[in-house]
Structure 1
């Protein structure tokens, strides 16, 4: 492929231009007969969508969305399961120069309402199975146009996706928005405050393409599957956007996670390149005794949380190839890790998160300064922005109403993007992580903000104080757990525990539900009154 640094420059020259058009880059320039997406149902039925079919369907849908007022810069949310309809809808949005607002389908109605309100979404497209969440979120068709992928309307004001796609209309030409314009607005939980809105510019395509090639080593002969839900950054950037950008085929499973089903997909489709969160590998280890001969991936990758040595050793033994661990954030994509591509492959040292991938420079700086820490010294993991041509994040969208939490992501001069994680760097450039993004809990690959869960629990009349933390789990990696101090007159009970779990399910979603609720008499605090989470677990 040539010099990686030159290849990065070539991608930037293609994607960071005033004439960059997302629909052209992700679809129209590719051979029409090439398969873009293979959709797999829970019963293992498969359906292919070619780039030609994707172009035709997205053009028709774009014309229909244009009649609803969608155009450059307009925000369109999707609350949809993986598969053809989701990808067609996203391409139609980008064809119009509009901004996609992906919503994780497990979100609670109140969390959906917050995102739709904050993003000033003009149109929301949802599956029939998720339509009730839109109603429960208080969204009406008089405020936001509602498009449903269903056979018939549930109310007269909503629009059917099939009608928009199939009605004869003049074709709307694709819009070139340029490299600096956002094409995605992605919400991501942080350790404090409300979920943050990350505007993803078109120029970020260069970073996504680079990771697909150098991190994942996806090539033209691969059957590639990223198991992460596209409501989250890893599944969106590298399960939808990057494969389409490269003209590669990708797999999407329309079913909840199940280890045996995952094994069936790997075998029946002959997946050769698998990218998944560590929880997927842990679940496979817990249920799979031996692999059928049809399962023979040449590349395995992991991201979202650190991969433990025991899981890595198991995968090497069972699959015969190593899992390459990768590090990143929604604001970056993936910037660090053990690349799978032969041109960048470096064997990581024990405990190392790897080295910066092409187009990135990652270092460790002394806390509160812009000075790089000495090798071996603990500090803040940070991206050297001027020396990272693939860095694209410049700041969050405007804060939500009532969110007074300041998020400082850049050093005073702007040179360093501060990840919020701590670690150290050795003399060879390998980075070792000590802690991830303060207190964020990663459970089954999903990021949960302790602050968001605590805020909901404190709204219950029984709760005086609450401290949410991660509880180690062999499969999920972490489970959400909470210690609560009750108001006078309340006492612990099974009924109260279920009420508290229900508050979180309704407020955030099932993925954030506390799996362990303990009542305590007090919470440990430091001299300034801040909860000491490291001690909460030991209560």
Structure 2
């Protein structure tokens, strides 16, 4: 982006002016640590549904309006422990907001760390912080003190709300994160618990009249490479992903009931809550979201819309015979590439087409996908209405169809890192460069090849690891796999696969040869894995994404299956 004038499209002139004329934030730390304006991506608000007023608090749209419109008794949050209607959730959110402001000293613009598994209180605290004009920084329940200290110090967080079950690591964090001044727990039954503070508090709270571009969320990336990056999102962004992807592609109904496996600490998971609340639908929230728990909840609660990763859909396939999931009508797959073999198997077993999509923490949610009747198996899809996408080379020049290159995207959401020089790498000439290698066909469909650093160059050939993974996954003996480049004296780099076998299969030299021949039959023979290690598990982020960089490190060090709990 050449200058600040490009930071907003003409359609967004009003929102651009908002940044200079109004903010509800008293604590301006986050606003002050946005990237320089000239490093922002260009924001595009060309569609009618993406026009927003200069002042809005997104929680009003997600929660308060349903009560105001007489739908307060409709189911909102459902869980095995406790469920809430929209009216009941509003009262809980309001009480928490009153505690935040009147008892805990939260001022508008203040950051609040949230730490919990997926449960109704996590949803309520999330909404309460935003409604009170604060900024949420949600974290994974499995993070350790050292990992928690990083976002606390980076975002200068003084207050945390935490599930009492996770107190041990939270208490250890205090010593490592001097910025943190107070932690309030819920669910521990103590006199200073969040529930105790809420006991005599009013269930009325007027949403702070925030600006559309006031920050409400700092979502830290999962840290697959380097230190996690704090991605900064506005109130209007929360609505934009609903009015864009959810409205135009997902096309759910108020009668739908959602479920998802992704942690609410990550934007893919939080979107699964926002989407139903945007249309007055309901959401089933589970603390344990393994395939068995997902299937049980789908059957018990008659879920109609499911959000999870390809690996979960693949794991559920073998368990469908004992479950009634006939209520399902839409299944969204994201978080990692969707192999065609998984798409085909799920479609055959259920009659449902997995709706693939690519999103990122930087973009908040899905920006390329396809509605069910336009899906091409194996392709991610087309840009979500309101977004634009193209393929560029390393210098940012446009590439023609059917040419491998870097994916560039822009729309109503985009990357703004919290005080991070990596902003310069992610945004180029107003476009978000996602770090994915794609090609676009002549019809405008985008086909995922790999992460940009997952491309394997072997004996002069460019080989995308996910291509090989998809071929291996189509073999019945393979449950999961990860493919990376490994150093080789003769060829420079060879294709190496780490394979988790399906139950009943045993690793052997004969099976290695069988899998290699299978890959040669499925894709171009030169792509076959010249080395295969059988392992019991693969390294993954807490969102379930494969840590290919960890596999690359093992391969580079010459580590075999011993590095990954070999069979």
| 2:72 corresponding residue in structure 1 | 32
C-alpha distance 217-145 of structure 1, shift in aligned 2 (>3 A): same
1:57 aligns with 2:92: yes
Deviation at 1:518, TM superposition (A): 12
Q: How does 1:193-204 map to 2 (within 5 A)?
A: 193-204=226-237
1:436 aligns with 2:451: yes
1:410 aligns with 2:427: yes
Aligned-partner Cα distance in 2 for 1:40–1:363: 44
Q: What residue ranges of structure 1 are gaps of 5+ in the alignment?
A: 1-6, 42-46, 451-468, 476-500, 525-535
User: Is contact 2:119-2:286 (8 Å) kept?
Assistant: yes
| 2:24 corresponding residue in structure 1 | none
Q: How does 1:499-514 map to 2 (within 5 A)?
A: none
After superposition, the C-alpha distances for 1:22-74 in whole angstroms (9 at most, x for unaligned) are 22111110121111111135xxxxx3201111111111111111021112111
C-alpha distance 289-86 of structure 1, shift in aligned 2 (>3 A): closer
C-alpha distance 231-281 of structure 1, shift in aligned 2 (>3 A): same
Q: Secondary structure at the match of 1:266?
A: helix
User: Is contact 2:258-2:284 (8 Å) kept?
Assistant: yes
1:268 aligns with 2:300: yes
| 1:218 corresponding residue in structure 2 | 252
Q: Secondary structure at the match of 1:297?
A: coil
User: Is contact 2:415-2:423 (8 Å) kept?
Assistant: no
Q: CA RMSD, aligned part only?
A: 3.6
Q: How does 1:296-315 map to 2 (within 5 A)?
A: 296-315=327-346
Aligned residue-pair number: 438
The one of 263, 267, 291 equivalent to 1:229 is 263
Deviation at 1:160, TM superposition (A): 0.9
Q: Secondary structure at the match of 1:275?
A: strand
User: Is contact 1:23-1:174 (8 Å) kept?
Assistant: yes
C-alpha distance 289-56 of structure 1, shift in aligned 2 (>3 A): closer
The one of 390, 393, 415 equivalent to 1:366 is 393
After superposition, the C-alpha distances for 1:238-295 in whole angstroms (9 at most, x for unaligned) are 22223222222111112252x333222111111111111112112112x315254453
Q: What residue ranges of structure 2 are gaps of 5+ in the alignment?
A: 1-44, 456-464, 470-481, 485-495, 503-536
Deviation at 1:142, TM superposition (A): 9.2
Using structure 1 for the length normalisation, give the TM-score: 0.73
C-alpha distance 471-195 of structure 1, shift in aligned 2 (>3 A): farther
Q: How does 1:482-521 map to 2 (within 5 A)?
A: none
C-alpha distance 470-421 of structure 1, shift in aligned 2 (>3 A): farther
Deviation at 1:407, TM superposition (A): 5.1
C-alpha distance 356-214 of structure 1, shift in aligned 2 (>3 A): same
Aligned-partner Cα distance in 2 for 1:397–1:357: 26
User: Is contact 1:273-1:297 (8 Å) kept?
Assistant: yes
Aligned-partner Cα distance in 2 for 1:520–1:91: 41
Q: Secondary structure at the match of 1:224?
A: strand
Deviation at 1:217, TM superposition (A): 2.4
The one of 152, 176, 179 equivalent to 2:189 is 152
User: Is contact 1:213-1:219 (8 Å) kept?
Assistant: no
Q: Secondary structure at the match of 1:40?
A: coil
1:120 aligns with 2:135: no
Q: Secondary structure at the match of 2:439?
A: strand
Structure 1 or 2: more helix by fraction: 2
Q: Secondary structure at the match of 1:76?
A: strand
C-alpha distance 510-222 of structure 1, shift in aligned 2 (>3 A): closer
After superposition, the C-alpha distances for 1:170-229 in whole angstroms (9 at most, x for unaligned) are 954210212111111100035543100001111212123322233322211212212211
User: Is contact 2:92-2:203 (8 Å) kept?
Assistant: no
Aligned-partner Cα distance in 2 for 1:189–1:510: 8
Deviation at 1:521, TM superposition (A): 11
Aligned-partner Cα distance in 2 for 1:352–1:509: 26
C-alpha distance 210-470 of structure 1, shift in aligned 2 (>3 A): farther
